[in-house]
C-alpha cells in the first residue's frame, strides 16, 4: 500500500510540474505575441500610409524624406529590393515604377499579415515559410482565375 501512495505522490508532483510549465509557456507566448503583433500592425499601418505618400509626392526633397522613413522600417538584408525600387523611382518618377512599388509593398504587407495570423494561432512554428506558401497559393489561384476568365476583373 505504501508504494501506491508514493506513486500517487510522484504522479501528482509530476502533473503539477508539467501543468505549471505549460501555464508559464502559454502566458509568456501570449504576452510576446500580443506585443509583437501590435507593433507589427503599427508597422503595416505606417507603410500603408507612407507608400502612397511617396508615389504621390512631387517634391524631390520630400520624396527623399519619405524614402528614408520607409527604408528605416524595412529589414536591410531581406527587403533591399524594396529600397532599390524606391531609389529608382526617386531618381526617375514614373507611373510604371509607382505601380511596381505599390505591388511590391502589397506583397510584403500580405505576407506579413499571413505570418501574423499564423503566429497568433495554435501552431506558430515556421510561420514565415507557411505564410509564403499561402501567399504563393493565393497568387497562383488568382492568376489561374484571370486566365480562365480574361474578361472579368478581379475584385
Residue 153 has what pLDDT? 54
Count other Cβ atoms within 10 Å, centred on residue 119: 20
pLDDT of residue 73: 97
Report helix, strand or coil for 76: coil
Determine the pLDDT at residue 155: 47
Reported as a single tens digit per residue, the pLDDT across 10-44 is: 888 988 888 888 888 777 767 777 777 888 899 99
Angle (nearest 5°) at CA 153 between 152 and 155: 130
Q: What is the mean pLDDT of the chain?
A: 88
Instruction: Classify residue 15 by burial, with Cβ atoms within 10 Å: 0-12, 13-18, 19+.
Output: exposed
52 has pLDDT over 70:
yes
Amino acid at each position: 500500500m505504501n508504494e501506491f501512495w508514493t506513486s500517487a505522490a510522484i504522479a501528482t508532483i509530476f502533473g503539477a510540474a508539467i501543468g505549471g510549465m505549460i501555464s508559464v509557456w502559454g502566458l509568456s507566448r501570449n504576452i510576446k505575441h500580443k506585443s509583437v503583433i501590435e507593433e507589427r500592425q503599427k508597422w503595416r499601418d505606417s507603410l500603408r500610409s507612407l507608400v502612397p505618400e511617396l508615389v504621390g509626392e512631387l517634391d524631390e526633397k520630400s520624396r527623399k524624406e519619405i524614402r528614408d522613413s520607409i527604408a528605416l522600417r524595412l529589414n536591410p538584408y531581406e527587403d533591399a529590393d524594396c529600397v532599390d525600387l524606391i531609389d529608382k523611382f526617386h531618381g526617375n518618377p514614373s507611373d510604371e515604377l509607382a505601380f511596381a512599388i505599390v505591388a511590391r509593398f502589397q506583397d510584403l504587407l500580405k505576407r506579413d499579415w499571413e505570418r501574423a495570423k499564423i503566429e497568433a494561432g495554435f501552431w506558430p512554428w515556421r510561420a514565415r515559410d507557411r505564410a509564403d506558401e499561402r501567399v504563393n497559393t493565393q497568387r497562383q489561384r488568382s492568376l489561374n482565375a484571370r486566365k480562365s476568365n480574361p474578361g472579368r476583373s478581379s475584385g
